[in-house]
Amino acid sequence: MLKVEGLTRLGLGPFDFTVADGECLAITGPSGAGKSVLLRAIADLDPNEGQIATAGMQREAVAAPDWRRAVALLPAESGWWADGVATHFQDARAVRPMLARVGLDQQALDWQVARLSTGERHRLALLRALEQQPQVLLLDEPTTMLDAGTTGMVEDLLKERMDRGLSIVMVTHDAEQPERIASRVMWLENGRLNARAGG
């Protein structure tokens, strides 16, 4: 569960919405409307105002690292801080069986980050975020870099996690993606989030 109340950042908002356990809220809107800014603000990566809570956690009441472990952000472009892929995971052995689920080679953990394609990076970054078992996942253009086949695999994995209670807020430009995966669609424009007829 994710409950956002009166969230403002850089003149955007205030945003108020709730995402239930196992629900996926898709946010669409024109480029530059502030969709990524909104996700970063929820993850508390930029200064912002407002109250946000998950089922057992009030953002203001916990340290920021604890909040981000519970509310994980997968940005449109992932960051990497070491040369080897495996270094970026807490438990590489536990991640290995997951590689096939997102269409990656079994050896992917032994690769060098510099050799990865954008799509490979993105899927590894998703596994890295899921490794923490977050309650809420914030996804910024999760499948833009992927072909139809791998997009399907990633969506299946996300749906499986939603069945186990994961809440998702997803920014997407893919017009059909909300219909496949999202319970609700909202439209962000001029700093306002408006409900929209969705799937």
Residue 10 in the binding site for other proteins (CB under 8 A):
no
The distance of closest approach from Cβ of residue 78 to other proteins in the complex, given in angstroms and rounded to an integer, is 6
Contact residue for other proteins among 23, 44, 120, 141 (CB under 8 A)? 44
Phi-psi region of 60 (alpha: psi -120 to 50; beta: other; left: phi over 0): alpha
Task: Based on the shown chain and the rule CB under 8 A, indicate whether residue 46 belongs to the binding site for other proteins.
Answer: yes
Distance CA 66, CA 70 (A): 7
- Name the burial class of residue 105, with classes exposed (0-12), middle (13-18) and buried (19+) by CB atoms within 10 angstroms of its CB: exposed
Closest contact distance (angstroms) between CB of 172 and other proteins is: 19
Per-residue x/- mask for other proteins, residues 75 to 94, rule CB under 8 A? x-xxxxx-------------
How far is Cα 152 from Cα 38, in angstroms, rounded to an integer?
Answer: 26
Q: Is the peptide bond before 14 cis (omega within 30 degrees of 0)?
A: yes
**Left if phi > 0, otherwise alpha if psi is -120 to 50, otherwise beta: which for 146?**
beta
Q: How far is the CB of 199 from other proteins (least distance, A)?
A: 28
Among 8, 17, 21, 45, contact with other proteins (rule: CB under 8 A): 45
Number of residues that bind other proteins (CB under 8 A): 24
**CB of 194 vs other proteins, minimal distance in Å:** 28
Sole binder of other proteins in the list 72, 109, 136, 169 (CB under 8 A): 72
Say which residue the tokens 């929820």 belong to. 42
In the chain the beta strands, taken as DSSP E runs, fall at 2-9, 12-19, 24-28, 49-54, 57-58, 71-74, 136-140, 167-171, 184-189, 192-196
- Residue 43 interacts with other proteins (CB under 8 A)? yes
Nearer to other proteins, 74 or 186 (CB): 74
- Where on the chain is the footprint of other proteins (CB under 8 A)? 43-47, 63-66, 68-69, 72-75, 77-81, 125, 128-129, 132
